[in-house]
Amino acid sequence: MDVLLAWEKSQEPLDQVLENIMSGVALEDPRDKQFVMALVYGVVRWQGYLDAIIQKFARHPLRQMKPLTLAALRVGLYQLVFLDRVPESAAINETVQALKLARQPKWLTGFVNGILRAMVRQRATLAAPDEAAAVLSHPAWLVARWEALFGPERTRRICWINNTLPPLVVRVNNRRISTDGWLPLLREKGIECERGLFAPGAVRINNFQGPVTGLPGYGEGFFVVQDEAPQLVTQLLAPFVGTRYLDGCAGLGGKTLHLTQLVPEGARVVAVDPSLKRQALLKENVQRLGGPEIEIHATTLQEFAGQCQDAFAGVLVDAPCSGLGVIRRQPDIRWKRSLAALQGYQDKQRELLAVAAGLVDKGGVLVYATCSIDPRENDEVIAAFIDEHPEFSLTPAQEYLPEPARGFCDEQGFLKTTSEQGLDGFFAARMVRKG
């Protein structure tokens, strides 16, 4: 409940809010942290569905409830509906006890207790998640947007997939171990795993509940967490014949690290990101994974471009975006975005792409990517860029992708992945600066 309330007030992602609170809590059993995570992510993922049921039993609108009361009802109801291993009595009693510990008045704890017990008594009348209209559990503006773009049937399918747990996907660090060498280490521990379907070096790990640090070879740098879709994006910088490459919006550095595995020996890889925290995490991963040093700049791309004297054979702009393509992995995104915000993202993306263009050498490659499935952040951005920068031309992304992934490209040559394919939703366009 504390995590959910803090997230509602915060602008930070759910995982960061969760980590901030959990780092100050001592739990005797390590499984308790996994249980807390399951409750938090489950409630956020199914919030629309849970609220629809709560409203059915409550006499007044949810917006008039105290935030703590609504959080309690969501947590209690989520356990009753989705967690078979939690006894009904425990789900109700622990929820009520939490309110008592928060010194809530007796009438309020009685109110929550009464609603949860009424839900148990009338469980048979509750619409199952796959039968309820609220199964979409996405904000109305987003459902309407996707229905206009993709049609009702595909929208329902995307929403349903977004409400399921994604597999853990990693990229094997081929400097330390081969995929064939690492898979047996996982299977010896009883971990269900398989090769990725589309990206070389990808491994999908199913039904894994523990921390990734507990996987074999974490400390030895055998792998890094990264979905197959962003692994495909980095490969669009091919043919990798230059000596200088730039990741202009490095973030946590997953693509930067991948780039160091793809470029020729001796090539220089530069990463730019203004966040000191993300920079520190990237440095930690560089040390863990080994390989060539990465030149890291804790600044904005605009500031870097103003000082940089070099031109690069390849520049990647994985632009800040709405994140609408990774809702399955980050369920809180759906509740923190708005239709109006999409235009703001586009303005920023166009600015970054224009700045990056000036850093690309003649004959060099410029790759633009987002983890969004909205054309306002994707197709429209590229159309405007090509119109304003005739020195660049589009090249078909499929020519630089592994055979199994080429079907993800549309008639314009854009790479477009979605959760329907079992991947994170990504967009990427490959452009070349004319010589």
Q: Which of 384, 374, 255, 262 is nearest to 317 (CA)?
A: 255
Integer angstrom CA distances of residue 101 from 17, 75, 105, 109:
22, 16, 10, 11
**Cα gap 225→375, rounded to integer Å:** 27
CA atoms within 13 A on the CB side of 65: 20
Strand pairing class (312-318; 193-195): unpaired
Q: Which of 319, 321, 317, 270 is nearest to 298 (CA)?
A: 270
**Cα gap 355→369, rounded to integer Å:** 15
Q: Which of 116, 4, 117 is nearest to 68 (CA)?
A: 4
Q: Which of 109, 129, 13 is nearest to 69 (CA)?
A: 109
Q: Which of 222, 354, 201 is nearest to 290 (CA)?
A: 222
**Interior angle at CA 51, CA 47 and CA 54, nearest 5:** 140
Instruction: Please answer whether residues 262 and 235 qualify as being in contact, where contact means their C-beta atoms are separated by less than 8 angstroms.
Output: yes
Strand pairing class (268-272; 360-370): unpaired
Integer angstrom CA distances of residue 158 from 77, 327, 404, 420:
24, 10, 22, 6
**Cα gap 161→145, rounded to integer Å:** 17
3-class SS at 240? coil
Q: How many CB atoms lie within 10 A of CB 152?
A: 11
Torsion from C-alpha of 151, 157, 163, 168, nearest 10 degrees? -120
- Residues with Cβ within 8 Å of residue 153, at least 6 apart in sequence: none
Q: Which residues belong to the active site? A: 371
